[in-house]
Amino acid sequence: MKLGVLFSGGKDSSLALFKAQESHDVVCLISVFSKNKESYMFHVPNIELTKLQARAIGLPLIQKTTKGEKEKELNDLEKAILLAKERYYIEGIVTGAIESVYQSTRIQRICEDLDLSCLNPLWKKDQIGLLKELVQKGFKVIISGVFAYPLDESYLGKLIDSKMVERLKLVSEKYRLSPAGEGGEFETTVLDAPFFKRRIEIMDYEISYKDNCGVFDIRKARLTEK
């Protein structure tokens, strides 16, 4: 099946892409750039990096900008998916949804309206297990945003490795947070993955943090050989 991936540049959409490639033909990436930093639907930190990530992967990227207004932003998503269908003849969409019913039901409805299949390869998987899989498969993922106590500035820009997985596990157990950030507790950016032809090197960044919210903003990056 020819598929397009809803791609934010974060760990979940990247892992979903990886799994979809095992049995399907992924032909394009679809990213929605939200102007609303508190978007209900879309990943925001470092979303602009998807352009460079698409080049690293070697897949075309369809981009759509939205104001990020609740529910209205779904119209922009549908336009982006329709463009992918018309341009690349996709038969289905891949999402990185794990537990978000809000996101998954809305994407499913759009797919039904456009006569497309909707694949959710991470749906209801063990979240700690998914984090461990990222590490085991060689994904290089950094935490690019934190939005819940007790996640603080010390997490920003840090690689999700085995030690970080244990740290997130302990925090989730003590404070009842989603260990994979599925509730918006944190966001991530992928710098390398098994399917990347080149990796991303960060050349300049800025960290901002206030009142239990912070962002690791990648200001400049480039592709380098693996």
pLDDT digits (tens, 9 = 90+) for 53-112: 999 999 999 999 887 666 677 899 999 999 999 999 999 999 999 988 878 899 999 999
Percent share of the chain, pLDDT over 90: 83
Residue 43 has pLDDT above 80, yes or no: no
pLDDT at residue 206, as a whole number: 97
Residue 168 has pLDDT above 60, yes or no: yes
Residue 37 has pLDDT above 70, yes or no: no
- What per-residue string of b and e applies to 94-112 under the rule 16 or more CB within 10 Å gives b? bbbbbbbeebbebbbebbe
φ/ψ region of 109 (left if φ > 0, alpha if ψ in -120 to 50, else beta) reads: alpha
| Contacts of 210 by beta carbon, 8 Å cutoff, 6+ apart | none
Beta carbons of 89 and 118 less than 8 angstroms apart: no
Residue 182 has pLDDT above 80, yes or no: yes
pLDDT band (50, 70, 90) for residue 38: low
Cα–Cα distance between 224 and 39 in angstroms, integer?
Answer: 32
Residue 41 has pLDDT above 80, yes or no: no
pLDDT at residue 58, as a whole number: 98
pLDDT digits (tens, 9 = 90+) for 70-79: 667 789 999 9
Our separate counts of H helices and E strands in the chain read 6, 9
User: What is the CATH topology of the domain spanning 2-119?
Assistant: Rossmann fold (3.40.50)
pLDDT at residue 104, as a whole number: 86
What is the SS3 string spanning 69-101? CCCCHHHHHHHHHHHHHHHHCCCEEECCCCCCH
Percent share of the chain, pLDDT over 70: 94
pLDDT at residue 68, as a whole number: 61
pLDDT digits (tens, 9 = 90+) for 202-214: 999 999 999 889 9
What are the residue ranges spanned by the domains of the chain? 2-119, 128-224
pLDDT at residue 175, as a whole number: 94
Residue 7 has pLDDT above 60, yes or no: yes
pLDDT digits (tens, 9 = 90+) for 113-163: 999 999 999 999 999 999 999 999 999 999 999 999 999 999 999 999 999
- Of 61, 76, 52, nearest to 29 by C-alpha is 61
| pTM score of the predicted model | 0.94
CATH of the domain spanning 128-224, picked from 3.90.1490.10, 3.20.20.70, 3.40.50.850, 3.40.50.620: 3.90.1490.10
pLDDT at residue 65, as a whole number: 87
